[in-house]
Amino acid sequence: MNHIISKTELSKFLKTISQFIFKFISIYLVTISPLMAKTSVEGKWMLILNGGKGQIDNSVVIGAPTDNKAAIIGELSLSQINEKWMGHVEGGPVDVKIDDNVIEIVVDSRDLAGFVFFRRLKGNFSTKEMSGTFTIEGTTETPEAGGKWIAIRKDPNNELLPPKPVDISGLWTPAPGVDFRKYSMDLTEKAKLWHKDYIDHYDQPNVRCVSPGIVAISAWGAYPFEILKSEERLTFLYEVDSEVRRIYMNKKEPPAYYPTSGMGFSNGYWNGSDLVIETQLLEGNVRDFRGEPISDGARMHERYSLSEDGQTLSAVITLLDPANYEQPPIRRRKWTRNSSTEIYPYECDPDSFYRQMYDENKLEMYFERSHRRQID
């Protein structure tokens, strides 16, 4: 005999099914939500402060200023290890917090006067874009206002384009930068050990009139330089330390006896209209004012882009030194064409350095630290 379900029984049955489905969906969302967040934000992004969608300097789509100020641009990488979020901006570590689709990033930076401050970014994210606002924390020489930020997935396309050389010869002077001026880098244990004993007035090469090398010179961007071109090479004439750099465009290999040096050995090629420079045979040195080390045999990758009007030259400079850095440090620089400027002689008298050491009775200490100037 067939059992006829009453309305009351049907109502109870449907209620039980509804409760079961609700619990299942709740458990599913709790389980899948962190995975969705991970899928949504892991990877590399182009981070732009005070920027919007568009193009900068005829390069890949990474954003453009919404006002007359230069946008600050940097590469943001995010990963999750053992349920902990790890973040890097321009190769340096940053604090990251993610809750549902809300993200907060704290980036340490240094202004031109040497003040260290923080930019706190808060916003929301989707699979293709992040956006929000940022504030400034800490002291800066020139007060910096907060503003808006966005981040767009970095284009993974590394396709080598047919060469389309452009004329970058001439005199170039520094322009307002787009660099984050990221303060701390992700040092290896080896680099941390070396850096622990760093004293700038003893270990910086330029204080004793020794060239700081191409890694520091190209990243400083505070002095003019000139580019000369010939059929088989480009020559960069820097005002800093009156250094001369040859970029071989004919795939020339360094001789077997070629030594490591602060300027290294550079080869260049055109990727579309971008000049790409690969430098090898760098000697042990320090990367910048903080004294973070460069190992003997490190490499450097540079990419120069010329604006459509031919008046602005931008560069992305990456140090490749896995012995000292968990992530490659990145700097961004910009110059404007200026035919009326001059490359002045770079005068430096090392006697003033050694005289000070002598007057302060520190010469012996300086010589005892000579091993600090031989970086492996």
Q: Does position 25 have pLDDT exceeding 60, yes or no?
A: no
Task: Give the pLDDT score at 107.
Answer: 96
Question: Measured between alpha carbons, how far is residue 191 from residues 73, 149, 196, 326, 371 in Å?
Answer: 27, 32, 8, 10, 15
Query: CA–CA separation, 200 vs 214, rounded Å?
Result: 18
Instruction: Tell me what pLDDT residue 16 has.
Output: 65
For the chain, what percent of residues have pLDDT higher than 90? 57
**Residue 16, Cα to own-chain centre: how many angstroms?**
56
Weakest mean pLDDT among 22-26, 82-86, 212-216, 265-269? 22-26
Phi, psi of 18 (to 5 degrees): -60, -45
Separation of alpha carbons 320 and 297, rounded Å: 10
Q: What is the mean pLDDT of the chain?
A: 85
pLDDT for 23 equals: 60
Q: What is the pLDDT of residues 1-15, one digit of tens each?
A: 555 656 565 566 556
Contacts of 192 (CB under 8 A, 6+ apart): none
Question: Of 24-38, 232-246, 353-367, which range is least confident?
Answer: 24-38
Q: At 39, is the pLDDT very low, low, confident or very high (cuts 50, 70, 90)? A: low
Instruction: Please give the Cα distance from 247 to 12 (Å, whole number).
Output: 81
Say what the pTM is: 0.84
Q: List pLDDT tens digits, range 51-65.
A: 544 443 333 333 333
* Phi and psi angles of residue 193, each rounded to the nearest 5 degrees, phi first: -65, -40
pLDDT of residue 373: 75
**Pair 212, 204: CB distance under 8 Å:** yes
Residue 29 three-state SS = helix
